Structures are given as structure tokens and as C-alpha cells.
Structure 1
């Protein structure tokens, strides 16, 4: 609140210095036109002063600028107006013109800087049933007349520097704004401390248990799925073994039983063959098995199965 009264005191001092002064507010870096306040049919000589110091002097065709105003000012010799460009905070002050030896009214120029970003300070009682939010910033007279505003969403709650909260305040968060005639700036969003305290709600209080529950469900689901797949695989293996056993016991391929494949040739059907390497007996069934790859595979499986069974 002290910053507000500081700015107000500066304004009051300006007006007390000259009750006839015209106040002009201008933004830092902009341009401004200072009009003498009167019109003239013709002008022979012009003098402009800033805080009683001559900054431009014109007589006839000769015009001279002084001090920091060199290169930033121009003079309208028809109206007597002074144009100042690229305004700085040092340009703030009293200006008055003297045209053809006539002293004119004082003009008060106030060059204003954009307001800074405010910071919110929180103070609560021990129970957190009462809290004060204070909007603070390094405010000087260079920022001009500064106003405060507290908002919650689109609602304006206060236009003071301090905002007091009770359990009746149900807003989720608050923002402090600083404003002057040419700019505004807002603070970071501040959560409602009383709402959090009263309700006992905090996002982490819900997020952490939910995350743990999801992880637990995921782990249990993975275990059950693995167990089911393992059991299914064991069942499939048992069924396949059973089907193989049944097939090997009674299945016939191309009119022959597998028992016949393994039993070997019968004496009645034996024939004699000779080759360059050796002499052997081969039945019709044996010859059929050797010429059929599928029967050879089944015969091999039958022998392996019976071997494992006998063991």
C-alpha cells in the first residue's frame, strides 16, 4: 500500500507546484507533442524550457537545441508546439513555452514505464482458517499511477493491494494484476490455501494410490496370464501325447497298420533281390514303406514311442 501512497504524493506535489499545470502522461519510448495552449497568427521567437532550463530556442530561421534533447526534438514554428521523440524517464518534469516574449502555462509531462510483474505473499493463521494474499512489486513514481486488481477466473474480487480469504472463499486460485495507463502485468496463479486445507484434497493424495493400484493390477494380471498360458501349454502337450498314442495304436496309412510296418516281412511274401553291394530279403510291405516318406516317418515314430513305453 505504501507504493500507492508514494505515487499519489508525487502527483499531489506536481499539482501543488503549479495549479494551472496541464498534466500529460506518456509511455516510455513513445513520442509526445507539447502544445503551448494558445494560437498565434504569426510567431517570431520561441523558447521552450524543461524544469526552468532552456532546451530549444528559435528566432527567425535559426533554431538551437540543448542538452539531451538534441536529435530528439523538433519545433513546429507555425503553432509553437514541441515534439519530443524516444521519451525517457528523465524527460519527466515541467515544460513551459515563451512565445514572442509571452510566458505561457506550465505543462506537466509524466513519462511512465510498464509495470513490473507482481509477486504474491501469503500469510495465514495457525489453523489456516484466515489467510491474506498481498500483491507486491518494486513500484516507483516512474510507473505512474498504479492500480491493483485481484481476480479469480473472470471475476474481480478486490481492487486493493491485499486480499483476505476465509472459509467462505471457494475459488480454486487467485491472480494479482498491476495496471497503469499504458500497461498491465499479472502474478503467477496462487492456489486457494484455505480450500486445500478445508477439503483436505490434494491431487497427489489421489494420484499416488491410483498409480499404485494400477501397478498392482498390472502385475497380478501378468502373473495370471503367464500361469494360464503355462497351464494351457501343459494341457496341449498332454493332449498331443494322447493323440499320438491313440494314432500309433490303431491308425492306418494307405491300408496298412503301423503294427504291420514294424512287424517286418512275412515268410510267405518274401522275395529275393540282389544288388551290387549285398543280398537281402524284402517283403511287399517293406518295399512300400521304403518308397513312401510319410510311412517311414510314422514307422520311426512308432518305434520311438514303444521304446519310451517299454522304458
Structure 2
């Protein structure tokens, strides 16, 4: 009977404690906190009671502790020289974050107040890559994250920046389709983001569609070059043959003139 009453009393005290913590903006529910690899993050407490001792834990393992008898906080591996504990507020700062730091944390202030955090350690976002395909009617642009990036993909959101209403109506989609008759000189941009940062890449829609006009210009220029070259060769040959014919005719006329001149027989040309 006493055990049951004590259990109910403990549960009641815990419920009151959670309510008080909630009013002090501290929750019994674990709060998500995000940090970037190789950077620092601070876990903030919000208790208002005087602090006589502090204990931070990662799961069940001690991170750092302090009480009035200690001259300075005592950190435990692997957090030695990587944490700073504010003994006035109880706030904990972790430096040089690694993926192994990701876990549930909790703090006890004066052995009464209990706050829980879930720390997520995220790799810096890479630039997304854009690729596109086209049909007779649409251009589809896809936004992709490099395959070697795998840090909390579920936290990444997509957004688009372009002139088309289809971009504006796209909600967290990794691809959009745009009418092919749209202004292809416009630029389209994909933005990826997580709770800590964002990155963007862009492309010009014209690069998604073969430039037929440019290809046609090259073909026409090649044809014109061949035609001009053929005309030049034809004119050269015609001029050459014409000059050759005139030279032959001149020589024949000269021979005929000599043959018809009586004096030419007396004085033959040496």
C-alpha cells in the first residue's frame, strides 16, 4: 500500500516538475538541436532556480559535471577539451562536432531540473546538380544531390526560383516541368536547404534544347562555302581555257600572216 502511494506521489511530483519546466520554457519532451560537422553548438537551459550542481549526460554517459565544491567543471572523454560549461546558466557548448556526437543529451540542474535534447550533426550541404530532358511540349529540370552525400537526406527541402508559375507551384519537389514555348533565355535555379544552411545551382533553359538555328547556320555556311569554291574553280578554268584559246588563235594568225607575206619567204624568221 505504501509502495503504491509512493509511486503515485513520485508520478505526481514528476508531473508537477514537467509542468513547471514547461512554464519555464523547458520541456520534458526532447528538443531537436542541429549542429554542423567541425563547428560548435550550444545546448541552452532555461531553468530559473539557483544552480548548485550541474550534470550533463549523453545517453547514460557523463559529458561534464560541476558543483560548488569543484573549482572548475570536469569533462569526460571524448569531450575533454571540447566542451564549455557555463556554471551560471548551465548552458553547454560542444566544439569540433563529429558525427559520433549525435545522440540524446540531458541535463540535471541542482539535481532537480531535467531538460532533454536530441542533437543532429549534419555535414555541410554540397551544391546540387541540375540536368534536364525535353519533349515536343515540355522541358523537365531535375535537381540532384551528389551521390556521395548522405547526411540526413530526410531533412533536405527543395525550392525553385524561376519565371514560370510551375516553379512557384512546386512544393518541395526535386524536379519541375516547364512549357517548351517559354522564354528559353531565362535562368532556372534550384535551392536545397536543411535547418542549418542552403545551397543553390542554376542553368539556362536554352541549354536543355538543341540550338537548331545555330546548326542550320553552320550547314548553310558550309554549303555556301562549297558553292563559292566551285564557282571560283569554274571561273578559273573558264578564264584559263579562254586565255589558252586566244593564245593559240593569235599564234595561228601570226603563222598565217607570215605564210601570206612574200617577203617572209626571202627572209625566214630565224
- 1:197-238 Cα offsets, whole Å, 9 max, x none, are xxx724233245336647976x69999xx9xxxxxxxxxxxx
> Which residue of the partner structure matches residue 52 of structure 1?
60
SS at match of 1:68: coil
Q: Is residue 165 from structure 1 mapped to residue 183 from structure 2 by the alignment?
A: no
Answer yes or no: is the 8 Å Cα contact 2:104–2:118 preserved in 1: yes
Q: What displacement does 1:190 show?
A: 5.6
> Which residue of the partner structure matches residue 35 of structure 1?
44
Q: What displacement does 1:63 show?
A: 3.0
Answer yes or no: is the 8 Å Cα contact 1:31–1:83 preserved in 2: yes
RMSD: 4.2
Q: Is residue 209 from structure 1 mapped to residue 229 from structure 2 by the alignment?
A: no
Answer yes or no: is the 8 Å Cα contact 1:174–1:192 preserved in 2: no
Q: What displacement does 1:97 show?
A: 0.8
TM-score, normalization by structure 1? 0.52
Q: What displacement does 1:85 show?
A: 1.1
SS at match of 1:206: helix
> Which residue of the partner structure matches residue 71 of structure 1?
81
SS at match of 1:209: helix
> Which residue of the partner structure matches residue 179 of structure 1?
193
Answer yes or no: is the 8 Å Cα contact 2:34–2:41 preserved in 1: no
List alignment gaps of at least 5 residues for structure 2.
1-26, 237-268
Q: What displacement does 1:53 show?
A: 2.2
List alignment gaps of at least 5 residues for structure 1.
1-17, 227-309
- 1:67-118 Cα offsets, whole Å, 9 max, x none, are 3222211211122211111222332332221122123221233333222233
SS at match of 1:77: coil
Answer yes or no: is the 8 Å Cα contact 1:112–1:143 preserved in 2: no
Aligned length: 211
- 1:175-202 Cα offsets, whole Å, 9 max, x none, are 4332233131326656464x65xxx724
The change in CA–CA distance for 1:201 and 1:50 in structure 2 (over 3 A counts) is same
> Which residue of the partner structure matches residue 8 of structure 2?
none
> Which residue of the partner structure matches residue 118 of structure 1?
128
Q: What displacement does 1:121 show?
A: 4.9
Larger Rg: 1
Rounded to whole Å, the distance in 1 between the matches of 2:232 and 2:97 is 71
